[in-house]
Structure 1
Amino acid sequence: MHERADAALWDVVRLSRPSRVAGVTMAGFRAHETTPVTLRLIPHPAVTLALVFGAGSVTVDEATVRRQPGSLVAGLGFGPVRVRRPENFECVQVRLSPVVARAILGVSPADLYGAVVALDDLWGREAARIRERLADVSSWEERLALTDALLTRRREAGAPVDPEVAWAWRRIVVSRGLVRVDRLAAELGWSRKRLWSRFHSQIGLPPKRAAKLVRFDGAAHHLVAGQDAARVAADCGYTDQSHLHRDVMAFTGVTPATVANEPFLAIDDIAWPTRGHGVRRGTTEPAELLQLHR
């Protein structure tokens, strides 16, 4: 059974200061519904880590495959995925820049490309211990601080990506996905083949696909902000509206009009207010809960 979108009520809380790890953002979520709700995961140019705690587990539906992880990790560029979350759901959601994802997760983002996996499969018993610790602390401020300390420790112990690869990723993000791959290679003094190989192995997808994902992300949030699809196509560097339609369908399995009505995307500028997409729904003070009707 699907709950009406306007009946859902979320609490959203974010860190009072930036994470100690550059490229990491996080937010706490609590949903008050007493019945399960299914949400569509929209691909994002970050590896997503959902640390679920308390009672219940999320169920991930991918075509005919259904899995029930505790906490989960969504790699870059996953296809159409729906997540059915339990009643009274609580989690800390973390967005990891692919520049730091390998060090924190302990696996290459390339191994997670297009997939949603259980955190237990990556971290073993540590995933269960984290879930217990998050449930034991009494405040969101403590939970976010605990999560930040965990990520900082893992980042310091992990292997960094090449500085040239990190630079190329930042250029793609800053350009909103519009920079050409051959230009990136020329600016680095690398061959196109060398850039493709290093970038793909360390970031998790080829540079051209990375640019396509970043461009799609910007377009999706402009659609949610209420902009006309034709204008979004022009502003985000698509050849025409049909080009935008094909990209949105490829990433989500639904049309731009459906993406425009995705309620959870409207939360992004509250939970991660520095995104810069212009979707402004509200603000939170440190450790203050925001109640948001979807």
Structure 2
Amino acid sequence: MRPAVDQCADAAVWDVARPARPSRVAGVSLAGFRDRGLSTAGHRAIPHPAVTMALDFGADPLIVDDAAGRQRRGSLVAGLGFGPGAVRVRGESFQAVQVRLSPVIAGAVLGVSPADLDGAVVALDDLWGRRASHIREQLADASSWEERFAVTDAMLARRSRAGWPVDREVAWAWKRILAGRGRVRIDVLAAEVGWSRKRLWSRFHAQIGLPPKRAAKLVRFDHAAHRLAAGEDAARVAADGGYADQSHLHRDVVAFTRATPATVAGEPWLAVDDIAWPDRRAAPR
């Protein structure tokens, strides 16, 4: 495993494992996390354009505190973008397999539409009942990260086959938003798929979990946040990212994270991101 360096503390906080091979399921990315017991304050979760599952199996639970003051423990599902405001992740000695699901396949895997999550963080037990406990037991019994990844991937493959696909037009619109790094006009997308703007808004929102304009803003923010974390100048990031000006970038960052661009640039979450998901620009789709 590789240690994830905490830029705000004095040592590595999480060990990170990556699978040797990509998932057999298109639109799925996996990584393993193990807390090293060096930080209990928690870290700000930076919104990402994927539905996130955390399959917890450690001695102590993964804990997530959302912007409304609610707390979730153990295995979790976070809707696209983590919902409004700041979300913090913490826990001592937790271990978890994190799954990033493209919203195109998230409904099939989860058994509920991403729109039903409404961007919130929910306990996996609330979605899957006893099946969530079963996967936890399997992961705890596994003797290696590769075995845990194999168990997780097999489960995801079974569930994705049993689920339902999104509309072809919706999947295509999501792919275009990703390819354009959020710099797309929704009326142009609607015209390209042959739908009215209203129909695209309705079907996209119902199946992806966000309205198309909000989804495009999230994708644009994701690229901007990683460029800020890489040390790039905020004015250049704003200009290249399609923001009207640096103030526009500032407002979007605050809206997604309740933190300034300078603060977000130093968040350990983004440093971990590049260790756990080195191919993040290629997946999930």
Q: Give the unaligned 5+ runs of structure 1.
A: 278-294
- Give the number of aligned pairs: 276
Aligned residue for 2:157? 152
CA deviations on 1:241-263 (whole Å, 9 max, x unpaired) are: 00000000000000000100001
Q: Is the contact made by 1:5 and 1:263 (CA closer than 8 Å) also made in structure 2?
A: no
Q: Indicate yes or no: 2:170 matched with 1:165.
A: yes
Task: Pick the aligned partner of 1:68 from 68, 72, 75.
Answer: 72
* Alpha-carbon distance in structure 2 between the residues aligned to 1:17 and 1:189: 38
What amino acid is aligned across from residue 117 of structure 1 in structure 2? Answer: V
SS in 2 for 1:51: strand
Partner of 1:12: 16
> Which residue matches 2:210?
205
What is the rounded CA distance, in whole Å, between the counterparts of 2:147 and 2:211 in structure 1?
38
**What amino acid is aligned across from residue 31 of structure 2 in structure 1?**
A
**Counterpart amino acid of residue 251 in structure 1:** F
Q: Does 1:102 align with 2:129?
A: no
Q: 2:26 aligns with which of 11, 22, 28?
A: 22
Task: Give the Cα separation in 1 of the matches to 2:39 and 2:269.
Answer: 17
- RMSD over aligned CA atoms reads 1.8
Q: Secondary structure at the match of 2:80?
A: coil
CA contact (8 A) 2:109 2:160 kept: yes
Compute the displacement of 1:69 (Å). Answer: 2.2
How many Å separate the matches in 1 of 2:65 and 2:14? 22
Q: TM-score, normalised by structure 1?
A: 0.90
Paired letter, 2:70 = R
Are the structure 2 counterparts of residues 127 and 168 from structure 1 closer, same or farther at C-alpha, using a change threshold of 3 Å? same
Distance (whole Å) between structure 2 residues aligned to residue 94 and residue 107 of structure 1: 16
The one-letter code of the counterpart of 1:36 is T
Alpha-carbon spacing, 1:166–1:14, altered in 2? closer, same or farther (3 Å): same
1:90 matched residue in structure 2: 95
1:68 aligned counterpart, secondary structure = strand
Question: 2:3 matched to which residue of 1?
Answer: none
Partner SS, residue 14 of structure 2: strand
SS at match of 1:30: strand
* Distance in 2 separating the partners of 1:258 and 1:82: 15
Closer, same or farther: CA 193–82 of 1 in aligned 2, 3 Å? closer
Q: Is the 8 A contact 1:57 1:68 kept in 2?
A: no
Taking the aligned partners of 1:271 and 1:37, their CA distance within structure 2 comes to: 21
8 A Cα contact 1:8 1:31, kept in partner: no
- 1:170 Cα shift? 0.3
Deviations 1:206-238 (A, max 9, x none): 111110000000000001001111111011110
| 1:38 alignment partner, one of 42, 51, 67 | 42
In the TM superposition, what is the alpha-carbon distance from 1:16 to its structure 2 partner?
1.4
Unaligned runs of 5+ residues in structure 2 are 1-5
How far apart, in 2, do the equivalents of 1:133 and 1:194 lie? 42
CA contact (8 A) 2:13 2:38 kept: no
